[in-house]
Amino acid sequence: MTNVLTNRFHLKGAACDIQVYEQHGGYKALPKALKEFKPEQITEEVKKSVLRGRGGAGFPTGMKWSFVPKESKRPKYLVCNADESEPGTGKDRDLMRFDPHQLIEGMIIAGYALSSNTSYIYIRGEYWYIKEILEKAVAQAYAKGYLGKNILGSGFDHDLYVHPGAGAYICGEETALLESLEGKRGHPRLKPPFPAVVGLYGGPTVVNNVETLAVVPHIILNGGEWYKALGTEKSGGTKLFTVSGHVNRPGNYEVPMGYPLMSLINNECGGMLGGRKLKACIPGGSSVPILNAEDCEKMTLDYESAASVGTMLGSGGVIVMDETTDIFETTRNVTHFYKHESCGWCTPCREGTRWLYKVFERMHRYEGRPGDVELLYDLADKILGKSFCALGDAAAMPVQSAIKKFREDFERRIKHNIVQIQKAAD
């Protein structure tokens, strides 16, 4: 199996120390990038690698970088989105706690590519212990001269700060993250202008996921073509997947793009728990549409295949559910999450998620009324595509797909309406 990002994971966190990291091939890419590449060439190399954003949207990273204007009156910024809050996802956590220098090295190279002198790691508030690991690593990098003024004699300056969030899911949305980083309430911003033009403190800003930035040193060392060849034609490289749920060995697994989903479940994860049958799978974190067993057979882990079965690769949080699972309950749980995390900015998301959850609640109590399933579907429809940012869509898609594919789980809640049953008993 190809280990690109996880090739130092077997050290069990020893690579947090800069010397161990250097012994295992660390900080080789940075000198190479500074000496052999011009900033534009790095962006070109990343474009060649067909690296797509690993945070969820899958936007081509090289293209994102090239949107940043060359000349800017205000400073440019690079922000690492480490606010990993998607339910079912934990890949960035391991990337940061087992190999923080890989991320830091990637960020310095990315900063060089963007001619940005300041970068931030916006880390999820609950990852306070990882923040400490990162801060220690940053201090070591400063001490070794990989950060600070005139890095390795190249004349390039770069400062890196670690900033913790305060626990809002919406702050994983890139513009809300920037608002939060500026010290304001975490609300998404109006786009356009996109952050690449007007971002943090009004300066051009690139916001990338941890995994995306951690890949950069490998692309510099081995070339974009090499990275692309690891995966499929349109989705290059490898990706980390967090597998959770009813499997024998849940955890983070790095597999090449285009790897079949069922192989991931059956080989890497050791098959279904207790040998039970697969019922459903959410392939990319709670926000993406759910798959039934039939679709899972068809799906390979790349962006195109995901789209063909009507879901998305998202952040790579694979949630596996066996035949004992009530999909109504899982969807209710997901909806509670979105109701709780909606920031309250726009009408459909604020009121829609609240209303959705209210309906879920009464169905959960077996007090569902005839027409509630249709109501749920229609409410989700009214949220989908009308909300200010993608959180509304993320709340609506799981509901719609679950109703489409597992309608019987929903209908049961109405068929067995407790009020009617009591009436009949009386």
Partner 1 sequence: MRSNNAGCRFGVCQRKTDFMETVKLTINGQEVTAPKGELLIEACEMNGVYLPRFCHYRGLTPQASCRMCVVRVDNPKIPKLQTACTMPVTDGMAVTTDSQEIEDVRAAMIEFLLSNHPVDCPVCDRAGECELQDQTYGFGEDRTRSQYDDKDNYLERQISPFIYNDPQRCVTCKRCTRVCEEWMDENAITVLNRGASTVISAFSGWVECSDCGNCVDVCPTGTLLHVPYKYVARPWDLKQTPTVCNFCSDGCSVLAGTRGENLIRNVARDGRGRTAGGINHDFLCSLGRYTVDFVHSKDRLDRPMIRRGEHLIPTTWDDALQHVAQRLGELKAQHGGDSVGVISAARLLNEDQFTLRKFADDVLQTKHAEYYHDDDEIDLASFFRYGAPTIATQAHLQNADTILLIGSDPNEENPLTAFSIRWAVRQKAARLITVNAMPSRLERQANISLRVREGSEGAFVQALLDDAKLNDAAAALGVKAEDLQAVRKAVAESGRVVVVFGDELRGAAVEALALLESALAAPSAEAADAAKKAYIDALQRQVKSSNSTQKPSINENPYTYIVEHPTLEVGAEPVRTETKFSFLPLVRYSNTMGAGLVGMHSDDKGGMSAHAMINAAGGGIKALFIAGEDVVSKANGEASRVSTQLAKLDFLVVQDMFLTETAKLADVVFPVTSYAEAQGTQVNNGMQIQFVRRAIPPVGQARPDWMVVNQLAKLMGVDFGYQGQLKTIFKQIADAVPGCAGLSHNLLVNEGATQISLPQPEQSKINRADVLERLAGQVAKINRNVAVDAAALTAKAGTRLKQRYPQITQHSEMLTPELPQGVEAAAPAPLVFPA
Say how many residues touch partner 1, by CB under 8 A.
Answer: 28
Check: CB of residue 108 under 8 Å from CB of residue 146: yes
Q: By CB under 8 A, is residue 387 in contact with partner 1?
A: yes
User: Strand 238-245 to strand 205-209: parallel, antiparallel, or no bridges (unpaired)?
Assistant: unpaired
Pair of tokens at residue 32: 């190479």
Answer for the pair 33, 110: CB distance below 8 angstroms, yes or no: no
Stretch of 105-113, 277-285, 303-311, 340-348 contacting partner 1, by CB under 8 A? 340-348
Identify the residue among 127, 146, 328, 345 touching partner 1 (CB under 8 A).
345
| Strand order across the beta sheet in which 118-123 lies | 159-164, 118-123, 77-82, 205-209
Range in contact with partner 1 (rule: CB under 8 A) among 71-79, 138-146, 221-229, 386-394: 386-394
> If binding is defined by CB under 8 A, does position 382 make contact with partner 1?
yes
Sign of the dihedral defined by the CA atoms of residues 288, 81, 199, 109, in that order: negative
Binding residue for partner 1, selected from 35, 70, 298, 340, defined by CB under 8 A: 340
Q: Tell me: does residue 364 bind partner 1 (CB under 8 A).
A: no
Amino acid, single-letter form, for residue 285: G
Residue 251 sits in the site that holds partner 1 (CB under 8 A): no
Residue 2 · residue 259 · CB < 8 Å: no
Per DSSP, the three-state class of 167 is coil
Please report whether residue 180 would count as binding partner 1 according to CB under 8 A.
no
Q: Pick the closer one to partner 1 by CB: 50 or 334.
A: 334
Smallest gap from Cβ 188 to partner 1, in A, equals: 10
Nearer to partner 1, 198 or 280 (CB): 198
| Token pair 């709780």 in the structure block, residue | 340
**Residue 85 CB contacts under 8 Å (≥ 6 apart), including other chains:** 124, 169, 171, 172, 341
Q: Cβ distance 96 to 195 under 8 Å?
A: no
Rounded CA-CA distance 289/241 in Å is 17
Q: Provide the pairing of β-strand 159-164 with 118-123.
A: parallel
Find the part of the chain contacting partner 1 (CB under 8 A) among 33-41, 295-303, 320-328, 333-341: 333-341
Judged by CB under 8 A, does residue 339 bind partner 1? Answer: yes
* Closest of 58, 126, 51, 52 to residue 288, by C-alpha: 58
* Position 344 contacts partner 1 (CB under 8 A): yes
263 SS3 class: helix
Q: Which residues of 317-331 are buried (b: 16+ CB within 10 A; e: fewer)?
A: bbbbbbeebebbebb
Q: Which is nearer to partner 1, 153 or 344 (CB)?
A: 344
Q: Residue 235: how many CA atoms within 13 Å on its side-chain side?
A: 22
Hey, which bits of 215-290 come out as E strands? Answer: 238-245, 251-256, 259-260, 278-282
Q: Does 136 bind partner 1 (CB under 8 A)?
A: no
Segment lying near partner 1 (by CB under 8 A), choices 56-64, 106-114, 240-248, 356-364: 356-364
165 binds partner 1 (CB under 8 A): no
| Site membership for partner 1, residue 413 (CB under 8 A) | no
Nearer to partner 1, 315 or 353 (CB): 353
Cα distance between residue 176 and residue 180, in whole Å? 6
Q: Does 291 bind partner 1 (CB under 8 A)?
A: no
Indicate the residue among 251 and 385 with the shorter CB distance to partner 1.
385
Region from 107-115, 206-214, 266-274, 357-365 binding partner 1, contact rule CB under 8 A: 357-365
Residue 270 beta carbon to partner 1: minimum distance, rounded to whole angstroms: 37
State the nearest-atom distance from the C-beta of 390 to partner 1, in Å. 11
Residue selected from 21, 37, 303, 388 as contacting partner 1 according to rule CB under 8 A: 388
Nearest approach, Cβ of residue 241 and partner 1 (Å): 29
Quick check: 105 binds partner 1 (CB under 8 A)?
Answer: no
**With binding defined as CB under 8 A, does residue 347 bind partner 1?**
yes
List 348, 360, 398, 406, residue binding partner 1 (CB under 8 A): 348
Among 190, 274, 275, 424, binds partner 1 (CB under 8 A): 190
Question: Ramachandran region of residue 9, left (φ > 0), alpha (ψ -120 to 50) or beta?
Answer: alpha
Inter-residue contact 131 to 162 (CB < 8 Å): yes
341 near partner 1 (CB under 8 A): yes
What is the contact surface with partner 1 in residues (CB under 8 A)?
168, 185, 190, 339-348, 350-355, 358-359, 362, 375, 382, 385-388
